[in-house]
Structure 1
Amino acid sequence: MKLNGVADLPEIRPGDDIAALVAERAALEPGDVLTVASTIVSKAEGRTADLADYPVSGRAQEIADRIEAVAGEEKDPRFAQAVLEESTELLIDCPFLLAETRFGHIAPNAGVDRSNVPDHDLLLLPKRPSESAKRIRAGLAQQGIEDVAVIVTDTCGRSFRHGQRGVAIGWAGMPASRDWRGEHDRDGHELGVTVQSVVDELAAAANLVTGEGAGGTPAVVVRDWEFGDHAGSNELFRAVEDDFVRQALREWSFDDT
């Protein structure tokens, strides 16, 4: 498998055609996977905002005051309001915000970011990242580039571990997961639970190439990777009834006494 960053992409502005910009700079081939950072997808879709856009509710003020008391640093209640408006559920409200986005992804601050936004205060995640991936894939087809899968990626922290890694938040042209259930290991034992989240694994691999901070490269071409002869699944975000961690968090509250 080879991963190559797409060099010299310009600063993305609302309305920019990401597919066309990538096609001009990368010799894509059938079977490739194109990973695109959600940062530039959001910019192209105009998903920027200013703190002044968010009148503060009582809930947001309460959240900001409590986090400020616990962390000892000022928390802008307008930022808390932005997170609330981008969320369907707030799983943790102190000492940080952990929220479910409207498309099912769970992330700190519902993915609301304050970095790499030169003209605004905030960058929001795409509203429907899998639809964004479909549009980019269709745009590549219009450029004469067929059979390229697209993954929209983000960086996210991990429970029980330090550090962040790339994850998929949207995808098109390939299943999200490779289902090994019913297949056998080398000793002939049937696999009963193994489902491999390949879109997440490709997103994490691409993140090694994209980098972070000021030197980031927001698009990566993955080549010579094959899904293989396996069943596929588009399930990525765990359903509430099967998510025991989320169920436990609903019963938990931070004790700052």
Structure 2
Amino acid sequence: MELLAVPDVPEIREGDDLAAVITDRIDLRPDDVVVVASTVVSKAEGRFADLAEFPDGPRAREIAGRLESITGDEKDPRFAQAVLEESTELLMEAPFLLTETKFGHVGVNAGIDRSNVPGHDLLLLPERPSESAARIREGLPHGNPVVVTDTSGRPFRHGQAAVAVGWDGMPGNRDWRGEHDRDGRELGVTVQCVVDELAGAANLVAGEGDGGKPIVVVRDWAFGDHDGHDSVFRDVDSDFVRQALRGWEFDDA
């Protein structure tokens, strides 16, 4: 497998054609997978916002005040309001905001970015990242699969890693159940989230900060002859961590 960062990607502006940006800079092969950072997708889709667009309500002021008392840092209640409006569920409100976005991804601050947003305060995640991936894919010469990524923290581990927030043209998971291991034992639970693994691999090449390269092509990788499905985001009934969080309260006494 080879990972190729698309060179010379310009600052993306609202209305830019990401498929054209890609194809103008790299010759895609039929089996290539294109991995795109959500930041450039959001910029192309005009998901910029300013704090003034989110006048804070009582709940946001309560949340910001509590976070300020815990961290000792000033918190803008308008940012808390933006997080609330971009979320369907607030899973944790202290010591940080952990939310479910409207498309099912669970992350800190609803994935709202406050860096690298020229001329604005905030950059929101794409509204429907899988639909964004499909639109990019339509403009690629071979209908190449597209994965849209974001970086997020992980339970039980330090550091951030890239994960898929949307994809099109391939299943999200590679299902090994019913196949066999080297000893001939049938696999009963192994489901491999390949879109997350491709996101993580691409992020090693993409990098972070002002030298980051937001679009990476994955070459010479194949899904293989396996069953696949798109059940990447757990539903509440099978998400025992979420159920536990609903009954948990941070003690900031």
Q: TM-score scaled to structure 2, two decimals? A: 0.99
Task: Find the counterpart in structure 2 of residue 161 from structure 1.
Answer: 157
The answer to whether the aligner puts 1:250 opposite 2:249 as a matched pair is: no
The answer to whether the aligner puts 1:27 opposite 2:27 as a matched pair is: yes
Task: Find the counterpart in structure 2 of residue 90 from structure 1.
Answer: 90
1:213: how far off? 0.8
Task: Find the counterpart in structure 1 of residue 177 from structure 2.
Answer: 181
The answer to whether the aligner puts 1:69 opposite 2:69 as a matched pair is: yes
RMSD over equivalenced CA pairs, Å: 0.5
Instruction: Give the paired residue count.
Output: 253
Task: Find the counterpart in structure 2 of residue 191 from structure 1.
Answer: 187
Task: Find the counterpart in structure 1 of residue 12 from structure 2.
Answer: 12
Post-superposition Cα deviations, 1:69-89, rounded to whole Å, max 9, x if no partner, equal 011111110100000000000
3-state SS, counterpart of residue 28 of structure 2: coil
Task: Find the counterpart in structure 1 of residue 132 from structure 2.
Answer: 132
Ranges in structure 2 where 5+ consecutive residues have no aligned partner: none
Task: Find the counterpart in structure 2 of residue 149 from structure 1.
Answer: 145
Which one-letter code corresponds to 2:146 in the other structure? Answer: V
Task: Find the counterpart in structure 2 of residue 55 from structure 1.
Answer: 55
1:147: how far off? 3.7
Cα distance in structure 2, aligned partners of 1:213 and 1:89: 30
Which one-letter code corresponds to 1:111 in the other structure? Answer: G
Ranges in structure 1 where 5+ consecutive residues have no aligned partner: none
3-state SS, counterpart of residue 25 of structure 1: coil
Which one-letter code corresponds to 1:233 in the other structure? Answer: H
Q: How does 1:230-241 map to 2 (within 5 A)?
A: 230-241=226-237
Q: Percent identity?
A: 70
Task: Find the counterpart in structure 2 of residue 2 from structure 1.
Answer: 2
3-state SS, counterpart of residue 63 of structure 1: helix
Regions of 4+ moved over 4 Å: none
Alpha carbons 1:31, 1:147 under 8 Å: kept: no
